[in-house]
Amino acid sequence: MAPKRLIDDLPDRPRTRPMKVLLLGDPRTGTTTLHHTLTELGFHVYHHADLIQDVPRIKRDYELWTDAFDANFNGKGKRWGKREFERILYDYDVIGDIPLSVFVDDLLVAYPDAKVILTNRPAKSWYGSMRRTILRWHMSPLIRFIAYFDHDIFGPLFAATNPCINLFTGDDWRGEKGAMKAYNEHYEHVRRACRAGGRELLEYNQPYEYGPLCEFLNIEAPKEDYPVANSTKDSNALYTWALKLVLIGFAIKTAKALVPLAVVGAASWLALKKGLLPEVIENKFALS
């Protein structure tokens, strides 16, 4: 009998809206800005930027995506397909960013009618941004130490995203050439898969503008300027916010663990002060 999977704890769900767009570009290529833009345009987007700020879902979803990666890339357990994806994504019509964007072939099969958007950025610029943000945090010995003991935020986050980062960088977090090679290969793989399947693909190039995006999606373009979000400062601020939550959680757990000890200590001190403790000890030895 196959072991029970975490995803099997979630029920099958009817789709509440058609899946319209797959964002299959790498992180740090403008996917967060695109996520905010599409949200403003009326789409419901599943994206890492929202998930990491939704504390009740961080642990659940990242543990699910860890299982999905193990099944689909490492052959551990039954492979995920549309049924599994839908138990998480049934209410979204746009999905993407890490960790979903590693599941290129699986998502293309699961959602054959969805359009695909690739947010493009020069490989060298992309790697520099990764080193200043995501890799900076994920390579930090201190943060990795914290993640080892934290089972609510950084622990599940690192377990789910580090294998994806390995794919995005070709297992070469510190080497620019290896990471840039993996980056280019990922983008070429998406392009080939879309051509082979006759999929509609938007090569979304910087500087990003509403015109090409809205034309691709057959919707009216807003008159205001295209927004900019998730700068290096914004990205690091998001990780800092998550770190603060973890440290606060550690403090609360430590306080809860120390309260019983403090109560026992206070009671013992009062008993000793009133001369009761020696009598108790003496009676105990007398009975033994």
- Return the pLDDT at 269: 47
User: What does the pLDDT average to over 15-38?
Assistant: 94
Name the band, by pLDDT with cuts 50, 70 and 90, for residue 91.
Answer: very high
- 11: pLDDT strictly greater than 90: yes
User: What does the pLDDT average to over 129-157?
Assistant: 90
User: What does the pLDDT average to over 113-126?
Assistant: 96
- The distance of Cα 249 from the centroid of its chain, to the nearest Å, equals 19
- 242: pLDDT strictly greater than 80: no
The structure's pTM equals 0.83
pLDDT in tens, 182-206: 999 999 999 999 999 999 999 999 8
What angle in degrees, to the nearest 10, is found between the helix axes of 232-273 and 141-149? 50
pLDDT in tens, 247-259: 777 677 777 776 6
- Return the pLDDT at 118: 97
Name the band, by pLDDT with cuts 50, 70 and 90, for residue 70.
Answer: very high
CA dist 84 and 55 (Å) reads: 22
- 271: pLDDT strictly greater than 50: no
- 114: pLDDT strictly greater than 70: yes
User: What does the pLDDT average to over 9-27?
Assistant: 96
- Return the pLDDT at 272: 44
Among the ranges given (24-38, 147-161, 208-222, 240-254), the one the predictor scored with the smallest mean pLDDT: 240-254
User: What does the pLDDT average to over 61-69?
Assistant: 97
Interacting residues of 164 by C-beta distance below 8 A, sequence separation 6+ = 69, 98, 99, 101, 102
- 285: pLDDT strictly greater than 60: no
- 154: pLDDT strictly greater than 60: yes
- Return the pLDDT at 84: 98
User: What does the pLDDT average to over 40-69?
Assistant: 91
Name the band, by pLDDT with cuts 50, 70 and 90, for residue 270.
Answer: low
Please report the domains of the chain, with CATH numbers, ordered by start residue: 6-230 (3.40.50.300)
